[in-house]
Structure 1
Amino acid sequence: MKRDVDFEMYIKEVKKPFSGWDFSYITESGRMASGMLSWSYGSMVTPLIGKVSSMLDMGTGGGELLSKLQPFPAVVCATEGYLPNVPIARERLEPLGVKVFQIGDDDLLPFEDQTFDLIINKHESYSPLEVKRTLTDGGIFLTQQVGGSDCAEINTMLGYPINEEFLHWNLRFAENELLENGFEILEAKEEFPVQRFYDIGALLYYLEAIPWQVPGFKLEDSLEKLYHIHELIQINGYFEVKQHRFLVKARKK
């Protein structure tokens, strides 16, 4: 099949470097955009930080978000499980007084019991038992999560099955799990905003950064379906999918 030159150019986006948890290459250029949520994770975190003496940021990525949440309490730590992100996070956060811990498993955090008054978590897995163990009595856990049906249309359009490992992951499941582990739910919301890709290169850049979206994805096996999406973008101006986001604010009893 003969493909146009724009498509061939965009295909090369898969080789672009990605570091930390920074999608600015395609977001700040307007090539990918997400719909608005009815809440702001950052706006919810900021006043909580001002009321505590110790906090933990789980899954800090390259520390991009945490670095913007100053001033910090007296004790602030961060964890990161993706090895390439750890030196990036340390370089950004340690000059700010944040101690960054590399971890391998969210079921075993390297902290003593009742260490933190506040644990925040954006798009990172967690063990309710470990969160409870490391929180002080009455401590707050605030998490924004990516639900199991996130961007499922990408998988469908590319001819790959939806990742069944995470299909159960939604607000109801997370709430029940926290309740069963001794938390009181203070706030909970779940929404499905749209996400748009304005060229096929932006989609490929996204898939390269988030390989778990389409497990087993191979560029060379998907060129025909990618070209079909490229053609749809030429007609509609974008390729639209539905995100899946939920938020829980809970207190340790």
Structure 2
Amino acid sequence: MTRTFDHLVAEAESVSVDGWDFSWLDGRATEQRPSWGYQQLMAARLARVHSALDIQTGGGEVLAGAGPLPRLTVATESWPPNIAKATRLLHPLGAVVVADADEPPLPFGDESFDLVTSRHPVTIWWDEIARVLGPGGTYLSQQVGPASVFELVEYFLGPQPEEVRRTRHPDDAAADAAGAGLDVVDLRSERLRTEFHDIGAVIYFLRKVIWMVPGFTVGQYRDRLRELHEQIEREGPFVAHTARFLIEARKKG
């Protein structure tokens, strides 16, 4: 039976958006995955080092799934609900979770880690990454690229200027890494098809990924949400495209 707009809205507003687990969207939204398999790459790097730092770990799900972890493994996170979730998940695996404001400096000494990782960081402080990496150490990160899911963003906010659409370009990341003294050894980018199958999936996504439509609330966008619900009911899934890039950079040994 087709669920009503009000039912879908109420359901999506009531569910928790803690952590970085998107399993609630199973069957309601789909997203192509990048071909490089970030978690597998992360696992391979973790297996070769003695110390690792995962920055902006979210709820710790990606790091936990990439184990076994090095003897010294630390994760940072700023959002209190995620700190609690990551602690519950990562402490039994031997990792320490550190509350950090995602502002420089990182709360670690120089050359503390062989490997620094981060999946979808919101901010990247390249000088700090270079500082805490030991000689020959590696930074591996999958990041959100330019104009990601902008079909959805612009549905609610209208056309965005070119400087906004170009934000988080992989070429800029590579230049910033080089500026911090790191050698970029891998840089890949892809645009991937994403489908939202009901309006509840859209609401959940925008509640969880809060920077897509800043200040998003159902109340503010209710009319626009209803129009999109009717469009999905009439035409099928709302299609957008996520932008992802992989960057691996190495500190001179």
Write the mapping of 1:63-142 to structure 2, written as runs, cut at 5 A: 63-124=60-121, 125-142=123-140
Shift of 1:162: 4.4
Shift of 1:166: 7.6
Read off the aligned partner of 1:91 and give its amino acid letter.
R
Q: Supply the distance in 2 between the matched residues of 1:165 and 1:91 (Cα, whole angstroms).
A: 37
Instruction: Find the counterpart in structure 2 of residue 169 from structure 1.
Output: 168
Change (3 A) 1:148 1:14: farther
Answer yes or no: is the 8 Å Cα contact 2:40–2:66 preserved in 1: no
Read off the aligned partner of 1:217 and give its amino acid letter.
F
Read off the aligned partner of 2:195 and give its amino acid letter.
R
Out of 121-130 and 15-24, give the one that drifted further. Answer: 15-24
Shift of 1:149: 1.0
Instruction: Find the counterpart in structure 1 of residue 196 from structure 2.
Output: 197
Read off the aligned partner of 2:154 and give its amino acid letter.
T
User: What CA deviation, in whole Å up to 9, does each residue of 1:24-65 have, x standing for no partner?
Assistant: 1112xx101101322110111111111111001111111111
User: What CA deviation, in whole Å up to 9, does each residue of 1:71-111 have, x standing for no partner?
Assistant: 11121100001121111111111121111100013421111
Write the mapping of 1:136-155 to structure 2, written as runs, cut at 5 A: 136-155=134-153
TM-score, normalised via structure 1 length: 0.92
Q: Supply the distance in 1 between the matched residues of 2:89 and 2:165 (Cα, whole angstroms).
A: 31
Residue 193 of structure 1 aligns to a residue whose secondary structure is: strand
Instruction: Find the counterpart in structure 2 of residue 10 from structure 1.
Output: 8
Out of 164-173 and 236-245, give the one that drifted further. Answer: 164-173
Shift of 1:198: 0.3
Answer yes or no: is the 8 Å Cα contact 1:160–1:214 preserved in 2: no
Q: Supply the distance in 2 between the matched residues of 1:106 and 1:52 (Cα, whole angstroms).
A: 26
Q: Supply the distance in 1 between the matched residues of 2:160 and 2:111 (Cα, whole angstroms).
A: 38
Q: Supply the distance in 2 between the matched residues of 1:174 and 1:243 (Cα, whole angstroms).
A: 18
Shift of 1:218: 3.4
Residue 184 of structure 1 aligns to a residue whose secondary structure is: strand
Q: % of aligned pairs identical?
A: 34
Residue 65 of structure 1 aligns to a residue whose secondary structure is: helix
Q: Supply the distance in 2 between the matched residues of 1:236 and 1:228 (Cα, whole angstroms).
A: 12
Q: Supply the distance in 1 between the matched residues of 2:73 and 2:3 (Cα, whole angstroms).
A: 50
Q: Supply the distance in 1 between the matched residues of 2:53 and 2:165 (Cα, whole angstroms).
A: 25
Residue 80 of structure 2 aligns to a residue whose secondary structure is: coil
Q: Does residue 1:252 correspond to 2:251, yes or no? A: yes
Q: Does residue 1:211 correspond to 2:210, yes or no? A: yes
Read off the aligned partner of 1:131 and give its amino acid letter.
I
Shift of 1:167: 4.0
TM-score, normalised via structure 2 length: 0.92
Answer yes or no: is the 8 Å Cα contact 2:77–2:102 preserved in 1: no
Q: Give the number of equivalent residue pairs.
A: 248
User: What CA deviation, in whole Å up to 9, does each residue of 1:180-199 have, x standing for no partner?
Assistant: 11111111111110111100
Q: Supply the distance in 1 between the matched residues of 2:61 and 2:165 (Cα, whole angstroms).
A: 26
Shift of 1:122: 0.3
